[in-house]
Structure 1
Amino acid sequence: MFKIAVIGGSGLLGRALNDELARQAGWQCVATAFSRPSPQMIPLDVRDSVAVERFIDHVAPDAVVIAAAERRPDVCERDPELASALNVDAVRTIAAAANRHGAWTLLISTDYVFDGTHPPYRHDSIPAPLNAYGRSKLEGERALAETAERGCVLRLPLLYGPVISWSESAVTSLVPAIVASAAPNGQAAAMDAWAIRYPTFTPDVAFVIRQMLERHARGQTISGIVQWSGDEPMNKYEIAVCLAKALQLDAQLTPQRAATDATPRPHNCHLASSRLEAFQIGRRTPFDIAIRQVVSGQCTTSLMQGE
């Protein structure tokens, strides 16, 4: 039995990963949750080092995926101590516990470790984060490298996928404004047209992680830093146009050509995925197809009514 512990299994990526791994014969996936507890997941606050060690020792996994993080740039900017506790200290605790069982530890990181001025970025490009979120994730990468005897970092860009609330992803968080702009007497919604993002579908990322885990199970463990990204450059205005089409709404959208975020964000952090592609790892679902799947999901009606 190949055992995987997924730390942060109730989040946007964690749920997609649980679904992917549950289909693998001979694999056992044990997932944790903090803000969204469920009977299928073990409650765990990654800031509680004793609880983390107890969980890892109980599961005795062959691999650990760290998907838990504080990923909201504005929150990290306001509360850097929280960002450090979740994105750095917890990584060190989990990796140290995983070492005792010889487990491979995969840390999910971000394109925000780069400043966005010279894309595309390779896995060995020099990081230069612009904000507290990027700095905390870079420190987390270093904590993994310093602690894990068998570790790997997977950097990812803007994620979207099946949601339980529109606010879960910066992609679907645009929906309420799109809906409001399409209402009778609705006001036009201003959408950022400055930052270039590469929206990446969480089921595709889960597929990539499963392929990485398969290599580990075969004794072909990947270490160091790897990256995966969608290959369609889009700003939020273009994303919103696609969303409105998928929702079949006649939305009023206005592109904003200048950066307006209070927290500094990079212009274009396109991640090169060449290292994983060299291992013949990867899958990309076209954005227009994937976003239709997201908005036509079973939760769509309640989301439209509730937000």
Structure 2
Amino acid sequence: MFKVAVIGASGLLGRAVVGELARQHDWQLVQTALNHPGPQSVRLDIRDADAVTRFVEGEQPDAIVIAAAERRPDVCEHDPALARALNVDAVRAIASAAQRRGAWLLSISTDYVFDGTQPPYHGDATPSPINAYGRSKLDGERALAESTDLGCVLRLPLLFGPIVGWQESAVTSLVPAIAASASAAPDAKAAMMDAWAIRYPTYTPDVAVVVRQLLERHARGEAVCGTAQWSGDEPMTKYDIAQRLADALQIDAQLVPQHTPTDSTPRPHNCHLDSSRLEALGMGRRTPFDTAIRQVLAQFPWRG
């Protein structure tokens, strides 16, 4: 029986990964969560290295997927100690425990390890993060490489997927402002949307397919190690995303493009990730953005 532990199973990506892996009937799945543990999950604070060691030694997984992280750039910028605890120290602790167990480890990283000036970025491109989030995730990549020789970093860009609240994804977090800007809304006010930074929204159920395929390779004794990348292939600014959300919601939104960066935390201009390593292995799935966002909205409709 192939046993997989998913760390951070209650989050945006973790839920999608669990949903995909649960369909593998000959696999055993162990889930951990901290803030929202469910009846089928183990409560685990990955900042507690001793608790991490006890968990891995007790469960003895064949593979571990780290879907837990501090991924909000503004939070990382204002609380770098928290970012380091979750994105670096915890990865090191899990990787060390995985190495002792002989378990393959998959850790999720980000396109923000790059400065966004020379896309597309291949897996061996030199990282140059420009904010605390990107620096913490790059340090997490290095912590994994230093702690285990049976590990893989999977870099991903902007994620969206089935949500439990609008703010859970930077894509769906735009919905309240879009709705408030609608001409039919009382006191409607145009919504300013960034039209400078280019992003590649990536659907979490598609990422979950990639994770499952990577796990299948490990189970066959063909583990992918080092650095891998996966990305959606539709470039969009936040303004573009907002327009497509408004279309999906059938809202006559008043949107104004902002062509210069305004975020207090610096963001890269275009960190397009090259996915050719996984594509060459026959991996991956890409759901068109308009199809995917309608699936998300159908499960979590706007209530106004």
Could you tell me the TM-score, scaled by structure 1's length?
A: 0.97
- 1-structure distance, mates of 2:66, 2:10: 12
- 2-structure distance, mates of 1:149, 1:256: 45
Match of 2:287 among 240, 265, 285: 285
Q: Displacement, 1:245? A: 0.9
- 2-structure distance, mates of 1:37, 1:103: 24
2:42 is aligned with what amino acid? I
Answering whether residue 100 of structure 2 is matched by residue 100 of structure 1, we say: yes
| Pairs within 5 Å for 1:125-204 | 125-182=125-182, 183-204=185-206
Structure 2 equivalent of residue 89 of structure 1: 89
% identical aligned pairs? 70
Q: Which runs of 5+ in 1 are unaligned?
A: none
Q: Displacement, 1:77? A: 0.6
- 1-structure distance, mates of 2:137, 2:225: 18
Structure 1 equivalent of residue 211 of structure 2: 209
1:4-30: per-residue Cα shift (whole Å, max 9, x none)? 001111000000000000001210111
- 2-structure distance, mates of 1:212, 1:48: 27
- 2-structure distance, mates of 1:239, 1:113: 23
Structure 1 equivalent of residue 235 of structure 2: 233
Structure 2 equivalent of residue 54 of structure 1: 54
Question: Structure 1 runs of 4+ off > 3 angstroms?
Answer: none
2:76 is aligned with what amino acid? C
- 1-structure distance, mates of 2:301, 2:41: 24
1:69-113: per-residue Cα shift (whole Å, max 9, x none)? 100111111111111110000001001111122100001000000
- 2-structure distance, mates of 1:65, 1:10: 13
Answering whether residue 113 of structure 2 is matched by residue 113 of structure 1, we say: yes
SS, match of residue 101 in structure 2: coil
SS, match of residue 32 in structure 1: strand
Q: Displacement, 1:294? A: 0.5
Q: Displacement, 1:211? A: 0.5
SS, match of residue 57 in structure 2: helix
- 2-structure distance, mates of 1:59, 1:234: 42
1:236-295: per-residue Cα shift (whole Å, max 9, x none)? 000001111111111111111100000000000000000000101010000000000001
SS, match of residue 108 in structure 2: strand
Structure 1 equivalent of residue 15 of structure 2: 15
Match of 1:247 among 249, 256, 274: 249
- 2-structure distance, mates of 1:119, 1:245: 29
Answering whether residue 301 of structure 2 is matched by residue 300 of structure 1, we say: yes
1:83 is aligned with what amino acid? A
Structure 1 equivalent of residue 31 of structure 2: 31
1:183-206: per-residue Cα shift (whole Å, max 9, x none)? 133100000000000000000000
Answering whether residue 124 of structure 2 is matched by residue 124 of structure 1, we say: yes
1:212 is aligned with what amino acid? L
Structure 2 equivalent of residue 73 of structure 1: 73
Could you tell me the TM-score, scaled by structure 2's length?
A: 0.98
- 1-structure distance, mates of 2:209, 2:216: 11
1:110-145: per-residue Cα shift (whole Å, max 9, x none)? 000000000000000000000000000000000000
Match of 2:278 among 270, 276, 279: 276
2:301 is aligned with what amino acid? T
SS, match of residue 125 in structure 2: coil
- 1-structure distance, mates of 2:242, 2:62: 41
- 1-structure distance, mates of 2:85, 2:186: 46
SS, match of residue 31 in structure 1: strand
Answering whether residue 266 of structure 2 is matched by residue 264 of structure 1, we say: yes
